[in-house]
Amino acid sequence: MTEENLLTAHMEQRLDVAMASMPNIGSRNQAQKIIRAGLVTVNQKSVLRPSHMVTPGAVIEWESPVMEPLELLPQALPIEVVYEDESLLVINKPANMPVHPGAGRSTGTLVNALLHHVGTELPHAPDEPFRPGIVHRLDMDTTGVLVVAKNDAAHRALQSQFEARSVAREYVGIVWGVPDPRSGIIDAPIGRSLRNRTLMSVRSDGRQAVTHFETHEILGPAALVRFQLETGRTHQIRVHLNHIGHPLLGDVAYGGATIKYGAATRNRRVFYSNIFEVLDRQALHARSLGFIHPESGVEMEFMSELPEDMIWAMEQLSKDPTYLWDS
């Protein structure tokens, strides 16, 4: 059993929810398939029910399903194209869509959809053959704007802009609590978590990571916050927010899928359980993306409005049954 297939539970929750926090699983649906296939043990005992409740300290282990070698196949999946020309296209990525194939998943990704949409081969880095056209990524459950290269020249030029940190990126997220101060900079290095090697954490020996934030609206026990990135580390915003005690609402992997502010009364547990049924992901959206067109040299900026699940969650937060927030 590898470290990637080992998890120690830190709270009481459903088995499929706990496993969904692992990047090499990535969703409750995939976790349920692995559980029902008889590949999971809890404290060395086989478990077949995704709804099985695990307690803090429970050791969860699983075997990875046997996978055929990855083959990149075009798929007629719905994607929202914001802009397209001969060099690139800009996508408004939905939730629950991985950007590229990976362990345990060879279909249903943005790459599969792009291959069908473009109808030709897409460029890729020499060591990343399964990421054609991809110059940056969003987490599977993060929505919003993402640029894709359609030829080698555009791929190199866009990658250079990301490496030079000249690409302007703004994200919007719903966080637990209200940051104090309400705007500022989180400058904290990020590396692999020592407790769970598939997650990231703030570490003194990690790579530099800088996130600018500004509180835009107070939503009862939560807040709508805007973020701008200087760096682009894996899970950067999610890790930084957890580090300062304000995780993203609904973020299973980084502490946002349980009540973080206010009393955990029965009414509030039911209330937030209903919210998490609709907002079944971290409440993070890539709102805008600005870069220099690799061929024309023209400055370009693209924006995406908040998705419906986040708008709905914001409306619900004002109805929190028992929690009063002193702003």
Half-sphere exposure of 59 (CA within 13 A, CB side): 6
Alpha helices in 227-281 (DSSP H): 236-243, 266-278
CA distance 114 to 39: 33
> Rounded to whole angstroms, what are the CA distances from 101 to 76, 90, 105?
16, 19, 6
Burial category of 176 from C-beta neighbours within 10 Å (exposed 0-12, middle 13-18, buried 19 and up): buried
Residues near 281 by beta carbon (within 8 Å), at least 6 away in sequence: 95, 96, 141, 142, 250, 309
Burial 199-237 (b: 16+ CB within 10 A, else e): bbbbeeebeebbbebebeeebbbbbbbbbebeeebbbbb
> Rounded to whole angstroms, what are the CA distances from 240 to 6, 202, 207?
24, 7, 13
280 is catalytic: no
Strand partners, 62: 40
Tell me which residue of 43, 97, 33, 42 sits closest to 64, measured CA to CA: 33
> Rounded to whole angstroms, what are the CA distances from 34 to 15, 50, 63, 139, 251?
11, 9, 8, 21, 21
CA distance 272 to 266: 10
Residues near 308 by beta carbon (within 8 Å), at least 6 away in sequence: none
Residues near 12 by beta carbon (within 8 Å), at least 6 away in sequence: 53, 54, 55, 56
How far is C-alpha 291 from the geometric centre of its chain's CA atoms? 22
Q: What is the DSSP letter of 97?
A: -
Could you say which of 16, 85, 127, 139 is catalytic?
A: 139
Q: Which active-site residues does the annotation give?
A: 139
